[in-house]
Each structure stands twice: as C-alpha cells, then as structure tokens.
Structure 1
Amino acid sequence: MRVLLIEDNEDLAKLIGSQLEAGGYGVDRVDSVADAIAVLDSRNYTAMILDLGLPDGDGLKVLRHVRSQQLPLPVLILSARGAMDERVKGLEQGADDYLAKPFAFEELKARLAALLRRPGALLGAQLTVSNLVFDTHGRQASVEERPLALSARETQLLELLMRRADKIVPKSSVEDQLFGLDDEFGSNAVEVYIHRLRKRLQDGKAAVTINTVRGVGYVLTAVA
C-alpha cells in the first residue's frame, strides 16, 4: 500500500521512508502544503503522514483539504507540536491519530498499522479469498500453506486486489499504488504485472481469477 509522507526535514523523511518501505509500504514524499494538495488531487493513497510545520504554511491546511474533499484517507499527524491543545486541535480538524516528535519508529509503524486495520480501511491483518491467503504482516501470500514466490510489485498488486475482492479496482488506482511519483513506467506496465501475477497464481493452484474490465480496471474473484 502506498503512503504519502509530507515532511520537510529531508533526513527524517528518508529515515521514515526507509523504515516504511522495509515494512512493505510504498512511500511518496513531498515537503510543502502546495505540493501535498497537488498530489492528493491527482493520485490515490492508502494513508497520509503529515508534518504540521511546513515551509509554505500550516500542515493543517492539507488536512482541511482532505476532509473537505471527503477523501476516505487515514491521516496520522507527526509533529513537534506536542502540547495537549495542539494534539486536540489536530484531532478535532480530522486527523485520525497524532504522534509527537521525537518518536520511536516502531511506534510510528504500529500506529499506522492500527489505523489501517480500522473498519472501512480495507486493511485486515490477514486476507483470504478461496484457498488464497495473504499475511499483511509477513508480506507473504500462500495457497493451502504453500508460499507463493512473488516480486515486491506482484505482492503489492495482489494485496490491492485481495483487499477489494469482487470489486473493480480502477487501473488508475493500481498505477498509483504500484508506482511512486519518481517512477517511470510505460502505458502497458500494469497489464504486464497483471499477466505475471495471473501466471504466479495459476502455477500455485490458487482458486481465484483476475478479470479485466476493459477500459475500467481489474477484479479478483474466487473460482466457483
């Protein structure tokens, strides 16, 4: 799942990004209010980590934009403003959680995971479709306890489709989750990964299928 990190401290952003990527997340990073709003208006994310002290304004402006657009996006504020009134203000304006700096990376990852397990977040700890199981903590897919050998992007793609099993996942959403802001990819890149994943699932005897809804997206369903 892809997370938008809004943090203007480059060293801290790199550390947070590397920690989250090691945990299986994709991470895009911007460092200003303007860039954050522009990216949010053009791409889909699973969650957002938001610093408040940004060079061109208060990060709460980004939060207000997200909530005014009614985006179903979990938001974790990560800020040096640790006073009680600041935390209350952030939560009242729509943040789902608030973590003051300095912080422990393990707590950040745990809080993010907890947000994504909440009802409506589509992010259970274990996903099951027919005989196919995906462990979101271990980042491992298996069929009847036999592990499937998947690349990192194949794993991300499978997780995305399983979280929305029986529902169409638009191609644009797949692109947003698989590829970061700085990634270059061809017009048929998603189709290539869909083809590879289908082959992995077939070889692994998974009782699921990935159907293409032409011009719209993809849907993973159990095989009757």
Structure 2
Amino acid sequence: MRFLLVEDTLDVAEAIAGRLGNAGHVVDLAQTLEDAWHFAVTNDYDLVILDMNLPDGSGLNFLKRLRQEQIVFPVLVLTARLSVNDKIGALDYGADDYMVKPFDFGELEARIRAIVRRGSTQSDRSIAVGNLTFDMAERSLTVDGKEVELTRRETILLEIFLTNRGRVLEKEELLTRLFGLESNSNANAVELYVARLRRKLEGADLEIRTLRGIGYQARDTVQGKSA
C-alpha cells in the first residue's frame, strides 16, 4: 500500500516510515501542510497519517480541506493532544481514527489494517482469490496451500493488484505506488516486477493481463474454470 505521512518531527517520521517500509509499504513524507496538499492532489493514497501540529498550521484544517474538496483518502490522526474535544473535532472533520502520542507501533499497524479493511470488501485480514490467499498482516502469500516467497516490491505489487481487481492500472500509477518519489525508476521497472510476479503466481487463480499501451488488469480466473 502507499501512505502519505504528514509529520514534522523527523525522528518520529523516520521511525514510522521505516516500520511501514519494512512491512512492504511505500511512504511519502510531508513535513508541512503545503507539501502535504501537493502530494494529496497529485497522488492516490491508501491512507493519510496526519499529525495535528505542523509548522504552517493545524492538521485539522488540512483534514477539513480534504473533505471539502471531496478527497476521500482514509485519515489516521496522530497527536500529542489529550483533549476529548480535539478527538471529537478530528472525527467530526472526517478522520477515520485517532491515536495519541506516544503510541505503540504494533497498535499503529493494527489500526491501519482496520481502516483499510473498512474501505474494502474484505471482512478479515486476508484476501482470498480461489487457491490464492494473501495475508495483509503477515505480508505472506500461499497458492494451493504452499507458501510463495515474495520480495518487498513484489509484495507491494501483489497487494495493489488484489485490492484493485478488475480495474485497469496504468504503468505510471504502478510506478509511483511501487517506488514513491524515487526518480531513477521508470516504466521498465514496472514491467520487470510484473513479469517476476507472474512467474511466482503460476498456477494461481489470479491473472494479470497486459493491456498494450494502457497498463495492466488483474482478474479472478476461478469463475472461468470448469467444475
């Protein structure tokens, strides 16, 4: 998944980004509301992790602006504030959840998974497509009950395809969701990782189609199989 982290305290930001990065996610970091808004209007995110106190204003104002502009990314608010009114304000403005600093990283990851689940059709932490099962918490894949080892990038790519089944994904979108702001990567890298993932999904009930000149589309093959 791809997250936008809006946090100006560098050690906190690096710790969160490192933890989520090690779990196989891409994290874009904004340390001001101005940068955060630029990211929000130019990219798609699975979740925004938003600090309340930024150098150029309040995270509440940023959240309110997101909702006024009908930008519907889920938002998890992080803050050192303890006031119940602050919590109520964040939720009333459209936050999906709220955590007070300091926090436990395990709880942060669990809350992120819960928010993402609420925005999908999945009722638990796993996505199943026929003989394929992907555990979103453990970042693990099994096909026909056998574990398949994936690299970090392959895991990110698989999760993108699984949570966007049936949708056409352009190469540029996959590029930014796979590599974030790494400028040295190009569309050839996307093709490489798609090819690698296809090889590891051999025999799985998930097909990744190439739509020439457009991008890729993942679809279930279970319904097309004869009994």
Does residue 197 of structure 1 match 2:197?
Answer: yes
**Residue pair 2:24, 2:155 contacting (<8 A) in 1 also:** no
Distance in 1, Cα, partners of 2:204 & 2:121: 25
Q: CA deviation at 1:36?
A: 0.2
Letter of the aligned partner of 1:144 in structure 2?
Answer: D
- Equivalent position of 2:170 in the other structure: 170
Distance in 1, Cα, partners of 2:81 & 2:204: 49
Does residue 219 of structure 1 match 2:217?
Answer: yes
3-state secondary structure, aligned to 1:165: coil
Q: CA deviation at 1:121?
A: 7.2
> Unaligned 5+ residue runs, structure 2?
none
Q: CA deviation at 1:167?
A: 2.5
Distance in 1, Cα, partners of 2:110 & 2:205: 32
Distance in 2, Cα, partners of 1:182 & 1:53: 27
Distance in 1, Cα, partners of 2:117 & 2:24: 15
Q: Deviations over 1:59-87 (max 9, x none)?
A: 12321232123223110110112201111
- Equivalent position of 1:16 in the other structure: 16
Distance in 2, Cα, partners of 1:121 & 1:88: 27
More displaced stretch, 48-57 vs 104-113: 104-113
3-state secondary structure, aligned to 2:217: strand
Q: CA deviation at 1:153?
A: 0.7
- Equivalent position of 1:80 in the other structure: 80
Are residues 112 and 10 of structure 1, via their aligned partners in 2, closer, same or farther at CA, if it must alter by over 3 Å?
same
More displaced stretch, 149-158 vs 114-123: 114-123
TM-score normalised by L of structure 2: 0.90
**Residue pair 2:79, 2:100 contacting (<8 A) in 1 also:** yes
- Equivalent position of 1:140 in the other structure: 140
TM-score normalised by L of structure 1: 0.91
Are residues 85 and 207 of structure 1, via their aligned partners in 2, closer, same or farther at CA, if it must alter by over 3 Å?
closer
Are residues 112 and 217 of structure 1, via their aligned partners in 2, closer, same or farther at CA, if it must alter by over 3 Å?
same
Are residues 82 and 118 of structure 1, via their aligned partners in 2, closer, same or farther at CA, if it must alter by over 3 Å?
same
> Unaligned 5+ residue runs, structure 1?
none
